[in-house]
């Protein structure tokens, strides 16, 4: 017997709160399935997105809690500094390793929903920077779910929608105001009986386990990936390379995961941090040499003083060169932003 959609999962980043308010405000009170939402937030964020979305429309919204049952017409929001993953008929929040430099991240939610519900999932990518969500939406598509992406021309930050469209044969690319009516239409339509429930590949199972706080090695990471030449920006362990269809991703032995775009962004931050550390060290050296020169002026005469001042001046010049480079350099980024 045909069965309708069972869950909607939504991911957003920069500009996502306003976009979500627009979508939620247009959904009817009798929306027939639960909605799970991840928006990139800082760990110290107050966690009030549920309250914002409740005020925005007719559906109740709240921060998800481990073991909470999924109810139709309820919006579940991932709390700050927690991933949200889906289990059969319920939700879980976890402290699994960061993905694409975020916790919460979009990919763990989308992968887990696809693993549990297959063609019963609708995945939605809204405005945001970089490319979190592309891997998870690809999994939704591979396991038979419907995929929706906000039209990049309509998005405040188009990179996340653009990356999803570039790597996935997305079912629907629509303006923000058209997403809610489309969700109503998709959740009312039965899933065709001919749509076979695909078995989640081992890679999906392993990565969902990692998001659920399993040890990555014991979960099977080394069976699904091979060592790369790169180090994890977070913990400096060796990154292993994975494939999601046409895309390449990386994950380390402790579990941190990166797309190419997020890895480049993390490396770019490390480069800038290293340059500022070099500036700090050179300027501290210059100050110390200058102090020593002042001291030497009264105890060792002019020759030693001039030598120390020359070295202090050299350190200052080197610092100025690096500072100029910091101000002029562009961050590393992939061709797909």
Active-site annotation, residues:
13, 40, 132
Spatial neighbors of 215 by CB under 8 A, at least 6 apart, are: none
User: Counting Cβ atoms within 10 Å, is residue 272 exposed (0-12), middle (13-18) or buried (19+)?
Assistant: middle
Look up tokens 């799970």; give the residue. 36
Are 249 and 242 spatial neighbours (Cβ–Cβ below 8 Å)?
A: yes
Q: Count Cβ neighbours within 10 Å for each residue of 22-38 and write b for 16 or more, e otherwise.
A: bbbebbeeebebbbbbb
Are 150 and 176 spatial neighbours (Cβ–Cβ below 8 Å)?
A: yes
DSSP class per residue in 213-259: T--HHHHTHHHH-EEEEEE-TTT-PEEEEEEETTEEEEEETT--EEE
* Angle of CA points 248, 253, 257, to nearest 5°: 40
Please give the helix or strand (H or E) that residue 94 lies within, else none. Answer: strand 90-94
How far apart are alpha carbons 87 and 71 in whole angstroms? 13
Q: Which two tokens stand for residue 82?
A: 């927690």
Query: What's 292's DSSP letter?
Result: H
Percentages helix, strand, coil for the chain (3-state, rounded to 5) are 45, 20, 35
């Amino acid at each position: 017997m045909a069965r309708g959609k069972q869950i909607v999962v939504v991911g957003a980043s920069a500009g996502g709160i306003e976009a979500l308010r627009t979508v939620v405000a247009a959904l009817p009170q009798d929306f027939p399935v639960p909605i799970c939402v991840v928006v990139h937030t800082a760990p110290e964020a107050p966690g009030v997105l549920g309250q914002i979305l409740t005020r925005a429309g007719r559906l109740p919204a709240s921060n998800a809690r481990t073991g909470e049952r999924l109810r139709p017409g309820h919006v579940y929001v991932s709390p700050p500094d927690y991933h949200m993953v889906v289990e059969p008929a319920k939700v879980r929040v976890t402290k699994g390793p960061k993905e694409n430099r975020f916790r919460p991240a979009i990919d763990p939610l989308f992968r887990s929903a696809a693993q549990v519900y297959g063609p019963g999932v609708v995945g939605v990518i809204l405005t945001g920077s970089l490319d979190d969500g592309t891997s998870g939406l690809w999994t939704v598509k591979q396991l038979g779910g419907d995929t929706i992406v906000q039209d990049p021309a309509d998005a405040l930050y188009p990179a996340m929608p653009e990356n999803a469209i570039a790597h996935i044969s997305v079912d629907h690319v629509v303006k923000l105001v058209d997403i809610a009516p489309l969700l109503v239409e998709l959740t009312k339509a039965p899933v065709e009986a001919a749509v076979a429930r695909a078995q989640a590949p081992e890679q999906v199972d392993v990565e969902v386990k990692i998001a659920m706080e399993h040890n990555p090695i014991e979960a099977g990471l080394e069976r699904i990936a091979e060592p790369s030449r790169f180090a994890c920006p977070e913990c400096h362990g060796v990154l292993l390379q994975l494939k999601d269809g046409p895309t390449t991703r990386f994950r380390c032995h402790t579990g941190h995961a990166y797309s190419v775009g997020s890895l480049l962004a993390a490396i770019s931050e490390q480069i800038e941090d290293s340059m500022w550390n070099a500036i700090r060290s050179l300027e501290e050296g210059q100050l110390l040499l200058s102090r020593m020169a002042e001291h030497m002026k009264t105890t060792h005469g002019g020759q030693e003083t001039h030598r120390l001042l020359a070295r202090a001046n050299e350190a200052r010049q080197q610092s100025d060169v690096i500072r100029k480079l910091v101000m002029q350099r562009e961050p590393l980024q992939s061709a797909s932003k």
